[in-house]
Amino acid sequence: MRTFKEKITKVVDQILCDCCGQSCTKEVPTVEPSFDHEYATIVATWGYFSDQDGTKYSVELCESCFNEVLSFLKEKRRKVLGPFNYPYDYDPLNGTEYL
């Protein structure tokens, strides 16, 4: 015999950009209504001996705000390293296609 109990779980309904507040939830055209979340998460965890000892950040950004942050990082790096190419084989700021 099987007995059952109800289990209440939370599911993500919507993701809002932590910068502009725009919804990152997009409706996906399927037979049944379906939703997908298009966003980027930036996570930073600071360890001992840093100025932000023990602080953790988790920021969700819409595609537009993510692209603005990425442009800022590229410009900052250009100012620090100069106009030449990134010195390593893989440039994390250029991204890679996974599909």
Q: What is the pLDDT of residue 32?
A: 64
Which one is predicted more confidently, 65 or 32? 65
**Which tens digits make up the pLDDT trace of 61-86?**
999 999 999 999 989 988 888 777 66
**Which tens digits make up the pLDDT trace of 38-60?**
899 999 999 988 898 989 999 99
Q: What is the pLDDT of residue 38?
A: 87
Give every CB contact of residue 22 below 8 A, 6+ residues apart in sequence: 16, 62, 64
* Distance, CA of 20 to CA of 27 (rounded, Å): 20
End-to-end, the C-alpha distance of the chain in Å comes to 46
Closest CA to 16 of 25, 26, 6, 4: 25
Q: What values do phi and psi take at 40, rounded to 5? A: -120, 145
pLDDT at 98 over 80: no
